[in-house]
Amino acid sequence: MNEDEDARLAKAAMKSLHVPAPESLRAELKRLARKRKPAPTIWDGLREAMSGGAWAYGAGAAFAAAGVGVIILRAVPERPAAPTVAELPALRIEAAPPQALADLWSDDDGGDDDEI
Amino acid sequence: MTRYKLAVLLALAAIPLQAKPRAARPGADALILKALAGPGTGYAAVERVQVFLPGKKPKALKVNVTGLPGGRVRREVLPPKKKAASVIEVRDPENPEAGLARLRSVYDIAVSTGGVVAKRKTWKLELRLKSGALRRALWVDRDSGLLMKRETYRDDGTLRRRERIVKLELPAPVPSSFKAAPVPGPWTPEGFAFAGESGGTRRYTNGLENYEVSKAGGKLVVTGDLAEDDAARVLESAAR
């Protein structure tokens, strides 16, 4: 228990006993109040948070690396997927065998609509 | 008559003046000439061709159509399976007057309002045989003259074939790589190719429908799945 708490406890005890605090106790309380460090402002708190320890440097470096990675990935063009089946070159109709023409047809629903 | 009634009557009478004037229906010949000439600009379209065989499931194929400004058309039929090859056909337009003369020799033609095809307003042409049977119906774009849809019917009136543009960009830039010219030879309807010859009979197919050109009694004869105007053009071309 430090002297600050001692003085405040003493004052509280006297108040509960309805005894006026002696002049020396009041003077001591005032001295302690002056000595007490003021609460840090919001800017001081922010500055303290930003100038963190070693862990903060690590987190910052990881964040920057992730950002650079995202930029590089977006800049590199996506490579088309390798075709699983080789597409054949187009045929001129004059050279197309009847089977190639037959292969062009597929079953249909017979509908009469535009393509969406 | 009260003043109020008079005001209402005048307002009602003014409504037709506000309405858009209805487009004048063109003559059949002018419309066919416009359709045969095609649009003056390049275009890109997707066409679906459907064939309705009696008692069977309909069959279809999809064609990427590119119209070049001079009237040449490049048709690329896309295979339904990726491992198959697409088939390319390049065709030049026929002289519109010659095409009209042939259609007139085979059909009676009437024009009516055609509705909308691929977001384009159309005129409808009905081509009837001299017997009165409807053989073909054509839907022609009112602005450009592009043939948007064509249906062919059997003698009993059932639908045999439908060719329809399902997606259209007009005008559209034409890729500079599309330079191939048509291969000279006898004319065939779109999608048909020579399939073989035996005993003086030449056979043509589109993989689903067939026709043959043969000689009978010293005259060329066409038999098979063709409408009368196509058969007449095949004969004209084969006789040359």
Yes or no, beta carbons of B82 and A114 under 8 Å apart: no
For residue B121, the distance in angstroms to the closest alpha carbon of chain A comes to 13
ipTM, 2 decimals?
0.87
Residues in CB range of A29: below 8 A, 6 or more apart:
A7, A8, A11, A21
Yes or no, beta carbons of A104 and B194 under 8 Å apart: no
Yes or no, beta carbons of B167 and A112 under 8 Å apart: no
| CA-based nearest residue in chain A for residue B165 | A114
Instruction: Quick: pLDDT tens for B140-170.
Output: 999 999 999 999 999 999 999 999 999 999 9
Yes or no, beta carbons of A91 and B86 under 8 Å apart: yes
Closest CA to B51 of B158, B156, B141, B211: B158
Yes or no, beta carbons of A91 and B117 under 8 Å apart: no
Among A91, A94, A101, A104, the strongest candidate for a mutation testing the B interface, having the largest count of B CBs within 10 A, is A104
For residue A98, the distance in angstroms to the closest alpha carbon of chain B comes to 6
Q: Which helix (H) or strand (E) holds A106?
A: strand A106-107
Yes or no, beta carbons of A103 and B79 under 8 Å apart: yes
Yes or no, beta carbons of A108 and B57 under 8 Å apart: yes
Q: In this predicted structure, what is the pLDDT of residue B5?
A: 74
Instruction: Quick: pLDDT tens for B105-139.
Output: 999 999 999 999 999 999 999 999 999 999 999 99
Yes or no, beta carbons of B61 and A112 under 8 Å apart: no
Structure confidence at residue A39 as a pLDDT band (50, 70, 90): confident
Q: Cα(B145)–Cα(A78) distance, rounded to whole angstroms? A: 42
Decide if B173 contacts B42 (C-beta within 8 A).
Answer: yes
Per the structure block, which two tokens stand in for B220?
């060329």
Yes or no, beta carbons of A107 and B207 under 8 Å apart: no
Per-residue pLDDT of chain B (240 residues), as tens digits, is 567 776 767 666 766 666 667 789 999 999 999 999 999 899 999 999 999 999 999 999 999 999 998 899 999 999 998 778 899 999 999 999 999 999 999 999 999 999 999 999 999 999 999 999 999 999 999 999 999 999 999 999 999 999 999 999 999 998 888 878 888 889 999 999 999 999 989 999 999 999 999 998 889 999 998 999 999 999 999 887
| Cβ density class A73-111: b for 16+ within 10 Å, e for less | eeeeeeeeeeeeeeeeeebebbebebebbebbbeebeee
For residue A72, the distance in angstroms to the closest alpha carbon of chain B comes to 34
Structure confidence at residue A91 as a pLDDT band (50, 70, 90): confident
The whole-model pTM stands at 0.71
Closest CA to B68 of B188, B191, B176, B183: B176
B92-97: long-range contacts (C-beta < 8 A, 24 or more apart)? Answer: B92/B181, B92/B182, B93/B36, B93/B37, B93/B38, B94/B36, B96/B32, B96/B33, B96/B36, B96/B37, B97/B33
Name the phi and psi angles at B165, rounded to 5.
Answer: -75, 125
3 state DSSP class of B76: strand
| CA-based nearest residue in chain A for residue B91 | A93
* Alpha helices (runs of H) in chain B, residue ranges in sequence order: 3-18, 28-37, 96-106, 228-239
For residue A89, the distance in angstroms to the closest alpha carbon of chain B comes to 6
Yes or no, beta carbons of A106 and B60 under 8 Å apart: yes
For residue A96, the distance in angstroms to the closest alpha carbon of chain B comes to 7
3 state DSSP class of B30: helix
- Which DSSP string corresponds to B133-167? -EEEEEEEETTT--EEEEEEE-TTS-EEEEEEEEE
* A30 or A39, which is more confident: A30
Among A87, A108, A113, A116, the strongest candidate for a mutation testing the B interface, having the largest count of B CBs within 10 A, is A108
For A114, which of B83, B166, B194 is closest by C-beta distance?
Answer: B166
Among A88, A105, A107, the strongest candidate for a mutation testing the B interface, having the largest count of B CBs within 10 A, is A105
